[in-house]
Copies of this chain bind each other. A is one copy, B any other.
Amino acid sequence: MKSYLEKLKSAQERNNSWLCVGLDPQPDRLPLEAVWKWDEPILPFNKAIIDATADLVCAYKPNLGFYLQWGAAGIIALERTIAYIPDHIPIIVDCKTGDIGHTQAAWAKGLFEHWGVDAVTVNPFVGAEAVLPMIGERPSKAVYMLARTSNPSAVDFQGDLRQQQGLSAEVLRRSQGWATAGHKGYVIGATYPEEMAIARELVPEASFLIPGIGAQGGDLETAVRYGPDSVAGPVISASRAVIYASAGLDFAEAARAAAQKLRDQINAARG
């Protein structure tokens, strides 16, 4: 069985890409003429985006919240979207789950076994119990723990990572001691470049999931410099900048063009 990092590396090499596309359907941004003819517009929208970008990405990242806003109908669309994504492309479900042990075991059962996805974002507020039931005994799976999030209010509680102090630094340091069969990766926002350099020092071997490159204006050079781990490149994620590149009938071609441009920018920065 391939490890998560081996699968990620294969996908990165096959498409020459470190770009991950976030599949985050928003009711008010779905292209009206193109998909509202369907009773349930999310799945046809996602299928068109996947068809248009599957040779340009190293992963897809659907965010649970954007599906749940449609209630159960949205989760049905998510389930079918996951089934539609080609097997060789890693799927990271962004749900920032972080409950106590027996609840995390239920999340893991749903995400890793029922849906068969490769990785999940995890919020470590409750400690080791958020992680161990998920990947403690799953060698082919991974979690990405929140370490430094990409948003402005990240500073409220995450401390001063530049000084290696506070919550973000503690998460990076302490979680290194948790023994897991699966891979422990981290979410590090591209919007905090100095912090990313320190994070790479603290966890030299961990995969980084890097949001904040697209609509949030994060720093691509830093992501390329400090992103790679010992096996694979980072997962550099953009959502809105790709999937809503056009609100017209050409939304899929526009998404392809935006993904290609981002992939090429990343590759140019890699040199």
A residues with a Cβ closer than 8 A to B are: 24, 26, 63, 65-66, 68-72, 74-76, 78-79, 94, 96-101, 103-104, 106-107, 109-111, 114-115, 123-129, 146, 149-158, 167, 170-171, 174
Contact = CB atoms under 8 A, between A and B. Distances in A.
A47 to B, nearest CB: 17
Given A127-B157, A158-B125, A79 B71 contact: yes
B100 A123 contact: no
A125 B125 contact: yes
A157 B129 contact: no
A183 B98 CA distance: 22
Copies of this chain, complex-wide, total 2
B167 A152 contact: no
A173 to B, nearest CB: 11
B127 A154 contact: yes
Nearest to A115: B71
A110 B27 CA distance: 11
Nearest to A174: B156
Can you list the 9 inter-chain pairs with the closest CB atoms, starting with the nearest?
A: A127-B153, A127-B156, A69-B110, A100-B151, A75-B75, A68-B110, A69-B106, A69-B109, A65-B107
A203 B74 CA distance: 37
A80 B149 CA distance: 34
A65 B99 contact: yes
B156 A128 contact: yes
A170 to B, nearest CB: 6
A124 B167 CA distance: 12
A79 B152 CA distance: 33
Contact of A65 (B79, B104, B167, B170): B104
